[in-house]
Structure 1
Amino acid sequence: MRQLAKLALRRELAIIRSLFFLGPLITLLIPKTTVVILIVLFVCCVGLDLARGGKLKDLFRIDATLALFGVTAAYLFINAMWSLDPQRAVTASAWFVLVALMTFSAARALARWPAPALRAAATAFAIGIGGGVAFLLFEAATGRLATVSLYNAFPVTQPDSLKGFGVRNGQITRIAPGELNAMIAVMLLALWPALLCILTRLGDRNRYLAAGALFVAATAAIFLSNHDSSKVGIVASLVVFALATPWPGAARKALWLVWCLAFALVVPLATSAYKADLHKSEYLPMSAQARVTLWAYTAKHVRDAPILGIGGSSTRKIDQSPDNRKKQWKKKLKTEGFGWRAGAHAHNVFLQTWYELGAVGVILFVVTGSAVILSLGRLPDDTQRFALAQVAAYFAIIAFAWGMWQAWLMALTGLAGLYVALAVSVYRASQPETIAT
């Protein structure tokens, strides 16, 4: 073991540069690899700290915030007992625990890394994200030209299902627009930590130019894509960044209030939107109209188990049932494109929490999330605006996009926290030490 530690330290910078360049870049190109990349970066961060003589107990110590994650996880395991899909619910609960432990311990390890290692990681991370953003911008602007060419040249790389793809004479001519959505979301959550790394690492003249180019390219890619959640996210994050620059404390408290109100008001707002016929509004895209119907259906059925919920991962099981697919779907199919039925998930984490975990789960998530948001006040003042902007982007994604139990999205949440920890750690390492007089 000691020999392995010595070998790792001899090649430390090469390992760091490789993993922090390839890891973020790969997740941008293949979002479902977030699970593997989170594990790899966790092993890198913790392993190198232990190789330098760090103690495992220091990395996994239980503080108030981690204890809240533990209480929430305990409820998730209990809640899985009445889930319609208990095996999947238990698996999701276990992954929730692992993501929390890996993120916290890796972040603590990064805080103990020496400055050269942090600089190497931050530079590699920024370059990896920059390369990924450039590729996504090209793909969004050209209708996925690179991917279409790859699929046609090497058919083995094609996905199993070509639903939504354009195919002519055996050749793919168009990729389903939604295929880019997850890549855009991964990019958005990596953007703000990458900007902080760039502004910390480069010289005064170059850093603003490089950061501005990255932001413009990422924003262009987002608005050229079809991912409306990320469009909302980039606007929200930019507003929060602007507000947090002069008033970080007020912006942090505002985000905390948004987090609490999102859980408190999501059910009545979903019901009101449907009653206002927003699901028929011509001003909303079809995806938004469908969500209004889905949210209303979910909100109505929250009352089925308001305290403890119907069980984690149960929505997916309901969606697969013949009764949901045939009977309830057809009730309003003529007037609503989505149909009055449960989907695989609510497309809104706040609403899905109410439906599957009940009021108990809502309270636990509100308290645990509040602890994370308010803890950002301990970051250096100049870094808080970047972290808060990322939180705002995250809110938009979980409010409109995927289900809360998708393993890749849970891993992305951990990676987002790890990226912020890296950017903050390299910022702290770059600050001149204060010499007592």
Structure 2
Amino acid sequence: MLAFFGWSLLSIGWSEFKSVSLFSLGEVWLPIAAALILALTLPKHLTRQMFWLLAGAFVLSGIIIVMELRTGLALRRAIRMRADPFIFNRPVLTLLMLAMPLTAWLLGDQRRGAVWSLALLLFLTAVVIQSESDAAVLGLAIACLTFPMAWFVPRVTFGLAAFAFLVAFCASPLIGPIAARLITPAMHEKMASGHSKERVELWQSFGFVVREKPILGSGFATSPRMAQTTIAKKVPVEHQRMLNIGHPHNAALQIWVELGAIGAAIAVLIVFLTLRMVWQLPHLTRCASMALIAGAGPVALVGHGAWQGWWAASLGAAIIWMQAASRFQTETES
């Protein structure tokens, strides 16, 4: 992680928008630093009562989201607040991340934990389906599939996870052309709500950027201003328009674009080291942690920008709660 931070900082030297790069560096690394400090100090102080508070806040948040969306955000419109349905995508993704440690705690520390966990996941499913976040639907489906796989065939699950992340990073510079060939017009029509056609065009455009600076990248967090860079002028004219979107909606591709092959290699190493550390966790926590990783990975590969602070904070919160859940499991076993 320190190597990745150092390379990100160094890349600002060749960024064409250094102020943007510095701002984004703070946006993502301050939450990461805070999560690290809290992960080292807070889990031992989190009690069962605090987990129940988390569960209550989880349910209340889901109810508010569903009620807002079902009423067409009538309350927000009435008080002249922002009333776009997609504003709930980030809270829904945060709930998805927090559902994994909550599930681990319910299964490891509560009577009828399996029943409570199933109820929690069904409730989350209802919230996710009601939302406009197709990324959350994908993440939840893969997380729910990964948990039982990690429980019954852990070695296979870890092997598949490592392979999937390796393929995702190696193929991301070419994901645009690959997706353009594999996804038919009929498939695009069915996935229209997820803007699949626009995503493919976006991946193609940023893929051309990678070809221009494949080793060093264009500099940390230059994606929001990519259309204004000298690199953009070298991209074929028909693909320049999509560079105005702000980011490629694919974290692996964004790392390639901004930090080049060196940044991508460090990122893959971080993933492998993380998987190795997760393997050493107690069985239940290991399964829930793999579900968390499996849910977060697809979201990062099709959704938001890689350096958004709320996403780093959501993952950090999930990790902290997962550590506390693991402590209760250890105490129960002893």
- Shared fold, TM over 0.5: yes
Of the candidates 171, 185, 190, which is equivalent to residue 283 of structure 1? 190
Shift of 1:92: 2.9
Q: CA 1:143 to 1:396, structure 2 compared with 1: closer, same or farther past 3 Å? A: farther
Residues 99 and 369 of structure 1, relative CA distance in 2, 3 Å threshold: farther
Once the two structures are superposed, the pairs formed by residues 12-411 of structure 1 within 5 Å of their partners are 69-113=1-45, 117-140=46-69, 142-144=70-72, 147-152=73-78, 154-155=79-80, 158-159=81-82, 175-204=83-112, 207-275=113-181, 278=184, 281-285=188-192, 287-319=195-227, 332=238, 339-411=241-313
How far did residue 291 of structure 1 move?
A: 0.3
Sort the Cα spacing of 1:267 and 1:143 in 2 relative to 1 into closer, same or farther, 3 A.
farther
**Cα distance change of structure 1 residues 270 and 238 upon mapping to structure 2, 3 Å threshold:** same
Contact 2:9 2:220 in 1 (8 A): no
AA aligned opposite 1:103? A
RMSD: 2.7
Given residue 253 of structure 1, which amino acid in structure 2 is its aligned partner?
A: G
Q: Which fold has the larger relative contact order, with Cα–Cα distance below 8 Å and residues 6 or more apart in sequence?
A: 2
- Compute the displacement of 1:236 (Å): 0.7
Say if 1:122 and 1:426, in contact at 8 Å, map to a contact too.
no
CA drift at 1:131: 2.2
- Render the CA deviation track for 1:112-136: whole Å, top value 9, x for unaligned: 44xxx53232222222212222333
Distance 1:386 1:201 in 2: 14
CA distance in 1, matches of 2:131, 2:29: 33
Q: CA deviation at 1:321?
A: 7.3
Q: Is the 8 A contact 2:104 2:325 kept in 1?
A: yes
Structure 1 letter corresponding to 2:284:
D
Deviation at 1:262, TM superposition (A): 0.7
What CA deviation, in whole Å up to 9, does each residue of 1:216-270 have, x standing for no partner? 1111111222211111111111111121121223312321221121101122232
* Equivalent residues of 1:256, 1:374 under 8 A apart: no
Q: 1:250 to 1:359 in 2, by over 3 A?
A: same
TM-score by length of 1: 0.69
Alpha-carbon deviation of 1:111?
Answer: 5.0
Structure 1 residues 202 and 135, CA, compared in 2 at 3 Å: closer, same or farther? farther
User: Hey, what's the Cα distance between the residues in 2 that align with 1:310 and 1:392?
Assistant: 29
Contact 1:348 1:401 in 2 (8 A): yes
For the residues of structure 1 that align with 2:303 and 2:326, how far apart are their CA atoms? 28
Question: What is the distance in 2 between the residues matched to 1:405 and 1:380?
Answer: 31
1:295–1:244 Cα change, 3 Å: same
| CA deviation after TM superposition for structure 1 residue 100, in Å | 3.3
Whole-Å separation in 1 of the counterparts to 2:255 and 2:142: 23
Deviation at 1:91, TM superposition (A): 3.2
**Is the Cα contact below 8 Å between 1:279 and 1:290 reproduced in 2?**
no
Q: What is the aligned residue count? A: 331
Query: Any conservation in 2 of the 1:297–1:342 contact (CA below 8 Å)?
Result: no
- C-alpha deviation, 1:187, in angstroms: 1.1
Q: What is the identity, as a one-letter code, of the residue corresponding to 1:130? A: V
C-alpha separation between the residues in 2 aligned to 1:95 and 1:418?
19
- Measure, in 2, the Cα distance between the counterparts of 1:359 and 1:324: 19
Does the Cα contact within 8 Å between 1:278 and 1:289 map onto a contact in 2? no
Residue number among 309, 316, 322 corresponding to 1:420 in the alignment: 322
Which runs of no fewer than 5 residues in structure 2 stay unpaired? none
Task: Mark the runs of 5 or more structure 1 residues left unpaired by the alignment.
Answer: 1-68, 160-174
How far has the Cα of 1:105 moved from its partner? 3.0
Q: 1:389 Cα deviation (Å)?
A: 0.8
| 1:51 corresponding residue in structure 2 | none
Aligned-residue identity in percent: 19
| 1:209 Cα deviation from its structure 2 partner | 3.0
CA radius of gyration, larger in? 1
Distance change in 2, residues 1:301/1:278 (3 Å): farther
Q: Which sits farther off after the overlay, 117-126 or 261-270?
A: 117-126
Change beyond 3 A, Cα 1:259–1:324: closer
Indicate the SS of the match to 1:282: helix
CA drift at 1:426: 2.4
Q: Which structure features the higher share of helix residues?
A: 2
For 2:66 and 2:117, locate their aligned partners in 1 and report how far apart those are by CA, in whole Å.
Answer: 16
